[in-house]
Amino acid sequence: MIDIKTLREKIAEIRAGIPEIKKVEFLVTDDELANVMGDHKKEDGLLLCAVVPSYGGFGEEDDSGYKSYLQFFLCEKVDLKVFKNQNDYIDTLQRISEVVKPFVKTFFTREDCLALDLDRDSLNIDAFSRKAQCMGYSIEVDAKSYIDF
């Protein structure tokens, strides 16, 4: 079970290694993204929002534990009316996707004490636009922790 303190430390480590991420916010639910983006300005650059994990159990007797459900948004505020054509729109997603790659790679790296036991099969990355006046990517991944109940 990934606690909030560990997640905050991992996010701080990632932010230090990816200078394109200008600001980090923690959300309790993904619905709060609209509130955060209301205060965020286009000039503020790329924003990383980390949703506080939700948890579930898995397994039986000797093979059981917790599953942590993690969700992140890498996004920036945009005014879709200023895009001259579809290429501007796609270029924005391309630029953000170039930050998604090192972000995800850092999460799967096991070289530090904050390495998380992530389930690679659960990784899901979805592009979005027109969500709370921003566009970017939603990143979801699960982590398993084996313990005795």
pLDDT value of position 149: 46
The CATH number, out of the four listed (3.40.720, 1.10.1060, 3.30.2000, 3.40.50), of the domain defined by the range 4-146: 3.30.2000
147 — phi, psi (to 5°)? -150, 165
Question: Domains of the chain: which residue ranges?
Answer: 4-146
Place of tokens 């398993």: 144
β-bridge mates for residue 56, sequence order: 67
Closest CA to 73 of 29, 17, 137: 137
Beta strands in 1-149 (DSSP E): 21-27, 46-60, 63-77, 118-131, 134-146
pLDDT value of position 65: 81
User: pLDDT-derived band of residue 47, with 50, 70 and 90 as boundaries?
Assistant: very high
Q: pLDDT tens, 106-132?
A: 877 755 544 566 777 889 999 998 788
pTM for this one?
0.85
Task: Report the sign of the C-alpha dihedral through residues 31, 73, 119, 106, in that order.
Answer: negative
